[in-house]
Structure 1
Amino acid sequence: MTHLTNRDARKLWLHQNGLLAAPTRAPDVMAIIRDLGFLQIDTIRNVVRAQDHILWSRSQTYREGAVWRHLASRHLFEHFTHDASLIPRETLPHWQRRFRDLGRRTANADWYRSGLGQHEIEAIRDRIEREGALSTHAFDTKAASREMWARPPHKKALDQMWYAGTLATCHRDNFVKYYDLGSRVLGEVNHDADPAPQARALHAAAMRHLGIATPSEIYKFWAATSPAEVKDWIASADLVPVTLDTAQGTTHRALATPEALAALPDLPDPVGRLRIVNPFDPAFRDRTRTERLFGFYYRNEMFVPQAQRVHGYYVYPLLDGLDFVGRLEAKSDKSLDALTITGFWPEPDARWGKGRIARLDSELARFARLGGLGHVTWTCSRP
């Protein structure tokens, strides 16, 4: 069985996720997303939205909003992995089962029952067929309550058809989703296609992107198959059993692709650059894996009541080389033309000397420019 030191495991993981080398690659959006497998999107614009930050972390000549032309040109399609995501179009043949499964699940779930009659739902679809792509603002029904997650009936109907592939995202305008017929955006969706070869293709793709993973992590990559299907695929897949040292000093079992292990001896050391990491970055969205591999405990507190937060609302982990060295809360203040740092928390064992502070200041200045901001201000104690 192949054994990896914790340092080698970290290097391999960052390499697989495009974060080991300097973020100076060409801003080829499609190449970056194909390397990652998919790109999670999020509505919150704290400094920039998550999708732009994730792309910028790998290519710092990328500019905000450039990803959307690839959705409009059909090189990407939008659907639901573990969350709303942009997925390369070549994945579509393996995604038919996902349209089927989510279509059935949302049609039968209380949360997605719109309260509209079948003829009213069909009228929404027919209107889009006649008029072309429409956003939710083109319809006028009211939510039954004012709770945060309440949705008006027409929005539930639109989303249920979107999950099933009956409708699809045609484009987004200022992040507003425009729905068109799935047949016009995706081609014909086939709910009856054999799901088994689709699952095998998705598992193989997941391992290409992950390089090293547990069966559970293979399943969670797309969240579009089942643990039993992962187990069946592993039995005949060309994977290498490995053990790796965790940050806690224990040994952990996983699987690796031969290609990832072959690349390991030639991987360079990480660049001397500190990175501000987005909370939704695919390299670290699995908090358990991040803690096991890097010894960094992180929880997203955006939806935690303010009085109960340990850190802050939108908190960015700070990665320096192979180590997480702290976290900070930052936000855009357009009125002051400033990236404002409102909280800073160093890791207990991280040394913040002049070199590390200089690297943080340089990265904050670059991050401010990404958000169209002229300078950086601190309203909290700084290192």
Structure 2
Amino acid sequence: MHELTRDQARRIAVRAQLLDADRPGDVVEVAEQLAVIKIDPTAVIAPCEHTMLWSRIGWSYETGQLQKAVEIDRLLFEYDGTYRPTSLLPLMRPAMRRYPQYEKQRQWLEANDAFRRDVLARLRAEGPMLADEIPDTAQVVRDSADGWYGPNQVPRMLEALSRQGVVAVSGRQGRRRVWDVAERVFPSVLPEYPDDEADRLLAERRLQAAGIAKQRSPWTRVGEAGEPARVEGSKWMWRVDPEALAHRDDEIDGRVAFLNPYDGMLSDRPRLKELFEFDYVLEQFKPKAQRVHGYFAHPILMGDRFVGQLDAQLDKREGVLQVNAIHEQLPFEPEEYDMIRAELDDLAEWLGVPVAGAG
């Protein structure tokens, strides 16, 4: 049982997410460590996948590097609204073969078996294709209770087949996904793992990305991966990545990072509050009158502490990065404010615009 201070636990988490001063060199290195890069079209500043990569790599990151890694080098692949390293694919195959687990989805697929075969035949003969280029021949229509899917059943079928590893996203036209059969997207030869070993190795990769996680967490499912730990002042039982422990006492250089609201560092909200004492609420879906920090405020990480939130957006019409407010968790020291302004200037330079507003 490892005994960790809160400072040590935070340092482990920050390093695991590649947010310390030792920046990674490229897109693939980031993906291999983080395991998951969220794709989200909300581009208040820039889409999540690009801001996640910029916040780690810095000024040398160019958006075309991600496209090259996914569509040309095939070192990353798109799955379920994320980019993942291709090294994870063999570990995901057993779960793909078990899909679907819910009876309603299984019944819909069985009832639409002819539709399924139509989609695969079309892709094999004519792919890669956009979803709207594939005819909807569904025998059974399933309504979308949450409004996520429209009446066209093709996107729903493609999503189901992608979760089975039968089709895959081969690339994108703008924000639109281009689909193909999986054998033309994924490597032809992949190692095979038994279900239990694959699940264990996936848990280890999740812990590697988190550094430290609550042992029983629905947000960071690490199970028995790593080694047990206690954190000073916390009643939780934790699991910690053994490799991360070697640097637990190393100081974190106080660089600044602006994190997209969908960044993986923020996804485990209970851990964020327990370790960092940061209670982050995304106000995107709140009525305007109820917002405190802004529609899509980016948390500001400085070293191993969250110090505030950045309310800003890229104003394409005016050609500026418009800063509405910099909300301070605690009052900034002058040198801390200078560091934040320097990071803002770097962000604006990456976007190719000047900074406007907020002092």
TM tier, shorter chain?
Answer: 0.7 to 0.9
Which residue pairs with 2:317 in the alignment?
A: 335
| Pair 1:53 & 2:51 matched | yes
Shift of 1:294: 0.8
List per-residue Cα deviations over 1:24-79 (Å, max 9, x = no partner).
x43x1111111212222212222211111111111111112421211112211222
- 1:153-232 residue pairs with structure 2 within 5 A? 153-186=153-186, 194-217=194-217, 220-221=219-220, 230=223
Please tell me the residue identity of whatever aligns with 2:293: H
- 1:272-283 residue pairs with structure 2 within 5 A? 272-283=254-265
- 1:113-152 residue pairs with structure 2 within 5 A? 113=108, 117-139=112-134, 149-151=148-150, 152=152
Task: Report which stretch shifted further, 296-305 or 192-201.
Answer: 192-201
Which residue pairs with 2:301 in the alignment?
A: 319
Please tell me the residue identity of whatever aligns with 1:244: V
Which residue pairs with 1:109 in the alignment?
A: 105
Specify which of 223, 229, 237 is matched with residue 253 of structure 1.
Answer: 237
Secondary structure in 2 matching 1:259: helix
Give the number of aligned pairs.
351
> Structure 1 residues 122 and 21, CA, compared in 2 at 3 Å: closer, same or farther?
same
> Structure 1 residues 120 and 253, CA, compared in 2 at 3 Å: closer, same or farther?
closer
Secondary structure in 1 matching 2:286: coil
- 1:44-123 residue pairs with structure 2 within 5 A? 44-60=42-58, 61-72=60-71, 73-80=73-80, 84-101=81-98, 103-105=99-101, 108-109=104-105, 113=108, 117-123=112-118
Contact 2:9 / 2:248 at 8 angstroms: preserved in 1? no
Aligned counterparts of 1:87 and 1:170: Cα–Cα separation in 2: 13
Specify which of 267, 271, 281 is matched with residue 285 of structure 1.
Answer: 267
Which residue pairs with 1:15 in the alignment?
A: 15
Please tell me the residue identity of whatever aligns with 2:356: T
Specify which of 344, 348, 351 is matched with residue 368 of structure 1.
Answer: 348
Shift of 1:139: 3.6
> Structure 1 residues 144 and 34, CA, compared in 2 at 3 Å: closer, same or farther?
closer
> Structure 1 residues 304 and 153, CA, compared in 2 at 3 Å: closer, same or farther?
farther
Aligned counterparts of 2:236 and 2:143: Cα–Cα separation in 1: 48
Aligned counterparts of 1:284 and 1:186: Cα–Cα separation in 2: 30
Shift of 1:326: 1.1
Secondary structure in 1 matching 2:313: strand
Shift of 1:341: 1.8
Aligned counterparts of 1:193 and 1:70: Cα–Cα separation in 2: 25
Shift of 1:308: 4.0
Aligned counterparts of 1:92 and 1:46: Cα–Cα separation in 2: 31
The alignment's TM-score, normalised by the length of structure 1, stands at 0.82
Aligned counterparts of 2:121 and 2:289: Cα–Cα separation in 1: 47
Which residue pairs with 1:345 in the alignment?
A: 327
Secondary structure in 2 matching 1:150: coil
Shift of 1:85: 1.6
Shift of 1:187: 5.2
Secondary structure in 1 matching 2:199: helix
Which residue pairs with 2:339 in the alignment?
A: 359
The alignment's TM-score, normalised by the length of structure 2, stands at 0.87
> Structure 1 residues 108 and 188, CA, compared in 2 at 3 Å: closer, same or farther?
farther
Shift of 1:147: 7.6
Please tell me the residue identity of whatever aligns with 1:67: L
Please tell me the residue identity of whatever aligns with 1:138: E
Secondary structure in 2 matching 1:270: coil
Contact 1:42 / 1:49 at 8 angstroms: preserved in 2? yes
Unaligned runs of 5+ in 1: none
List per-residue Cα deviations over 1:172-221 (Å, max 9, x = no partner).
2212211100122225799x97311211221222233333222234x644
Please tell me the residue identity of whatever aligns with 1:241: P
Please tell me the residue identity of whatever aligns with 1:100: R
Aligned counterparts of 2:42 and 2:172: Cα–Cα separation in 1: 15
> Structure 1 residues 323 and 194, CA, compared in 2 at 3 Å: closer, same or farther?
closer
> Structure 1 residues 241 and 304, CA, compared in 2 at 3 Å: closer, same or farther?
same
Contact 2:20 / 2:255 at 8 angstroms: preserved in 1? no
Contact 1:106 / 1:160 at 8 angstroms: preserved in 2? no
Please tell me the residue identity of whatever aligns with 1:377: A
Task: Report which stretch shifted further, 62-71 or 143-152.
Answer: 143-152
Aligned counterparts of 1:240 and 1:183: Cα–Cα separation in 2: 38
> Structure 1 residues 98 and 65, CA, compared in 2 at 3 Å: closer, same or farther?
farther
> Structure 1 residues 189 and 199, CA, compared in 2 at 3 Å: closer, same or farther?
farther
Which residue pairs with 1:241 in the alignment?
A: 228
Contact 2:344 / 2:355 at 8 angstroms: preserved in 1? yes
Task: Report which stretch shifted further, 291-300 or 40-49.
Answer: 40-49
Aligned counterparts of 1:205 and 1:321: Cα–Cα separation in 2: 24
Please tell me the residue identity of whatever aligns with 2:69: H
